[in-house]
Amino acid sequence: MPTLSVFGAQWGDEGKGKIIDRMARDADVVVRYQGGANAGHTVVVGGDEYILHHIPSGILHPGKLNVIAGGVAVDPAKLLDEIEQLRARDVAVTEQTLRVSARAHVIFEHHRRLDHMAEKFKGEGRIGTTGRGIGPCYADKASRTGLRVADLLDGSTLESRLQATLAEKNVHFERVHGEEPLDLGQEIERARQWASDLAPFVCDTGALVRKAYREGRTVLFEAAQGVMLDVDHGTYPFVTSSHTGPDGIAAGVGFPVRSIERAVGIAKAYCTRVGEGPFPTEDEGPDGERLREVGCEFGSTTGRSRRCGWFDAVAMRYALEISGADAWIMTKLDVLTGLSEVKVAVGYVVGGVTRDSFPAELADLSRVEVTYESRPGWTEDITGVRRFEDLPEAAREYVRWLEDMVGAPVEMLSVGPERDQVVPVPSV
C-alpha cells in the first residue's frame, strides 16, 4: 500500500504512537501533518518508553525518513529538545532521518503566553488546552501574521516580522492582561539560535513526499490528534485548531487528496477525553475511575488525568464516516478485562428525539441522553494473546459487536503497550 493515513477516531490519546510505530516497519516515509507539541505519542520498545511530541513515530526504526510537514505548528525549543533527548538514547536523528518543512508555522513565547492568558480570561468557559500555544499560532497563520520556518531562517525577515508581531502582541499583554511586554532583542536572539540549530533539517517537505510517492515508496501519514478534536468536525469550540483527520493531509503536506489510498482509524475499546467539552459517554462513577486506573489514563504531554467513559458507537460512526476509513484498530482491549459487563453507547436521544448523527450543537450535546447496550465481560488476562481465536469468547464478541455497530472492520487489536502486544483480526 503506497500511501496510508492513520488517524485518531476519538478525542485523541487513542494509542496512535504504538500503532504508527508498528506500521512504520513497512513504510519508507512517515509524515506528521498537523498539530504540534500538544501531542504526546507513547511508544514502548523492550520496556523503554519514548514519548514523541513533534517527531513521527517512524524515528524509532533505523533508516526511515520522518517528515514534519507544513501543517504542523513547530515549537523549535521543544523540537530541538526532543531531538537531543532521542540522540541521548542513541536514536539516529539526522538530516537523513528527519526533515522539517520550511512552510511550517513557528510557535514563539508570545503564542504560549497568549494561550495561557486566553484560558485564564475564559474562566469557566476555558477549553482546557495543553498550553502549548497551538491555538494562537494557527490563529496567526489564518490572520497572515505568523512566521514560518522559512522566515526564521531568513535573518532580515525574521527581525522585521518579529518586531511587527511583538509590537502588537505587547500592547495586548500590557493593556488587556496587565502583563509585562516581551523583550524583542531576547526573542530575536532566541529565534536566531533556533534557526541555526534547525537549518540542517529544513527543506520543501511537500516536494520530498510527492517525489517519494512518485518513486513508489510507501508513505504513512500520521495524525497528531483525533477526529473529534478537529477544528471543523469536532466538538467546537472544545477542539484543537487544525484538521486532524485524513482531510488534513492534502493541505498539511501539499499532497494530492486523491493519492491517499487507504485510511485507518485508531480507537480505544472505551473512550477518554482530556480538557473540557462534551463527552456523552463519560462515566464519573467507579467504572470511569477503574478505566483511568487500569488504563493509566493520564496525559503524556500535560500529565492531566483523562476523563474516562464507555465506547461511543455514535461518535465513532461519525468519525469513521467523515474520514472515509477503510478499517480501524482497537487499542487497550486488555483494560476492559475484569469488568462484569461492558457497555457501549448505541444511540443518542435529544429532547425526546432519537438522533442518528453526531449533533453539531453544543446545547444538544450537553443534554444528550445516551442509549446504552451491554454485553458480558471477561476475566481472563489477554495481554499474552496473539491470535484472535485465543481470546475469550466474550472479548471476541465485543470486537465483532463493535464492528457491526460502527460499520467498519477492525483489523488489529492492541492488548498492551509493547510493540508485539497486538492481535490481527481476521475478516468475517
Would you call 110 a catalytic residue per the annotation? no
Chain positions 234 to 273 lying near ligand IMP, rule: CB under 6 A, are 238, 240-241
Pairing of strands 271-273, 3-8: unpaired
Query: Should residue 399 be labelled a site residue for ligand IMP when binding is judged by CB under 6 A?
Result: no
Chain positions 172 to 231 lying near ligand IMP, rule: CB under 6 A, are 225, 229
Position 55, amino acid: I
Task: Single out the residue of 32, 103, 132, 233 in contact with ligand IMP (rule: CB under 6 A).
Answer: 132
Angle between helices 184-198 and 109-122 (to 10 degrees): 120
Residues 11 and 72: their CA atoms lie apart, in Å, by 18
Which among 21, 26, 28, 41 is annotated as catalytic? 41
Closest CA to 384 of 340, 337, 426: 337
Task: Single out the residue of 70, 135, 265, 359 in contact with ligand IMP (rule: CB under 6 A).
Answer: 135
Closer to ligand IMP by CB, 206 or 234: give it.
234
Task: Single out the residue of 13, 151, 297, 312 in contact with ligand IMP (rule: CB under 6 A).
Answer: 13
Query: Should residue 275 be labelled a site residue for ligand IMP when binding is judged by CB under 6 A?
Result: yes
**273, three cell numbers:** 477525553
Among the residue ranges 125-133, 249-257, 322-330, 378-386, the one whose residues contact ligand IMP (CB under 6 A): 125-133
CA 329, chain centre distance (Å): 15
Query: Should residue 12 be labelled a site residue for ligand IMP when binding is judged by CB under 6 A?
Result: yes
**322, three cell numbers:** 467523515
CA quadruple 290, 17, 343, 313: dihedral, nearest 10: 150
Would you call 13 a catalytic residue per the annotation? yes
What do you get for the CA distance between the two ends of the chain, in Å? Answer: 22
Query: Should residue 34 be labelled a site residue for ligand IMP when binding is judged by CB under 6 A?
Result: no
Among the residue ranges 57-65, 76-84, 94-102, 128-136, the one whose residues contact ligand IMP (CB under 6 A): 128-136
Closest CA to 80 of 201, 197, 204, 203: 197
Closest CA to 189 of 244, 152, 238: 152
Kindly state the smallest distance separating residue 278's Cβ from ligand IMP, in Å: 11
Applying CB under 6 A, the residues found at the interface with ligand IMP are 12-13, 38-39, 127-130, 132, 134-135, 225, 229, 238, 240-241, 274-275
Positions marked catalytic = 13, 41
